[in-house]
Amino acid sequence: MDLGLKGLRAVVTGGTKGIGRTIVETLLKEGAQVAFCARNYEEVAATEAEFSRYGVKVLGRSVDVGDGPTLAAFVAEAQLALGGIDIVVANVSALAIGNDEVGWKSGFDVDMMGTVRLINAAMPSLEKSEHAAIITIASVSAREIDFTAGPYGSFKAAIVHYTQGLAFQLAGRKIRANSVSPGNTYFPGGIWEQIETGNPALFKESLALNPTGRMATPQEVANGAVFLASPAASFITGTNLLVDGALTRGVQF
């Protein structure tokens, strides 16, 4: 299937690791131009250099999405460099689990307001696009109570609600909005590799909950996100796509 992404312009936050990095790479493989950001300058530069091999425009910048003015400046630079924005993917998370004020503030600033500010900054460009799409990366923790039931799960749930509200509000302006809720996703250097090493009991328990007997790969999650971002999904808006291998037990009607 041709997803129709060739020549479209995307902005992705958190583009150097895991799911975000794989979304960037998959978009580039499909012929989209991509501007991405992450906090670590060296990792951003290395990722930008590596992905230049795809022969389409790729722009990487070091940005803390919890800093509103810096994030807005990045979006403005991306719009100028790419000649517009058709797709935004809000992927970054603070991964805040601790039930203290530091954790709650970090989750609010990065997960929630990082998403809101990204979309608000990109909105003037999205309104001019013929294929405007908003993708937010949520989590199965938005649906079920687990060990991330503090700020992480709460703000992921809020992001799903926010995204579905956008879908309704923006439908008349031909801007689609969908969220993707990954299950546990394993990749080198990721949180689950750290848990596997640092808390093997929790890792074993979490792995046993999935009837597939494994965790997701970043590519499996990215495939869903990139499809929803593409013109091939032109009549899909307001959905929350679970990519969890039947981990969650709740029924979505």
Q: What is the pLDDT of residues 14-39, one digit of tens each?
A: 999 999 999 999 999 999 999 999 99
Please give the share of the chain, as a percent, with pLDDT higher than 70. 100
pLDDT surpasses 80 at 147:
no
Task: Please give the helix or strand (H or E) that residue 80 lies within, else none.
Answer: helix 68-82
pTM of the model: 0.96
d(CA 58, CA 66): 23
Supply the pLDDT for residue 251: 82
Q: Which residues are known catalytic residues?
A: 152
The residues near 12 (Cβ < 8 Å, ≥ 6 apart) are 20, 23, 24, 27, 34, 35, 36, 37, 88, 89, 91
Helix axes 113-126, 68-82, angle to 10 degrees: 30
* Closest to 137 in 3D by CA, of 177, 180, 94, 96: 180
Higher pLDDT, 61 or 248: 61
pLDDT surpasses 90 at 250:
no
Number of H helices, E strands in the chain: 9, 7
Q: pLDDT for 194-234, tens place per residue?
A: 999 999 998 999 899 999 999 999 999 999 999 999 999 99
Q: pLDDT for 78-125, tens place per residue?
A: 999 999 999 999 999 999 988 999 999 999 999 999 999 999 999 999
What number of other Cβ atoms are within 10 A of residue 71's Cβ?
Answer: 22
Radius of gyration, alpha carbons of the chain: 17
- Is the distance from CB of 180 to CB of 172 less than 8 angstroms? no
Side chain identity, residue 6 = K
Supply the pLDDT for residue 85: 98
For the chain, which residues make up each domain, given as ranges? 9-185+217-243
Average pLDDT of span 146-156: 87
Mean predicted lDDT score pLDDT of the chain = 96
Residues 58, 59, 60, 64, CA torsion sign: negative
Supply the pLDDT for residue 77: 98
Average pLDDT of span 152-166: 97
Average pLDDT of span 124-152: 92
| Token pair belonging to 33 | 């131009």
Supply the pLDDT for residue 253: 75
Give the fold, CATH level 3, of 9-185+217-243.
Rossmann fold (3.40.50)
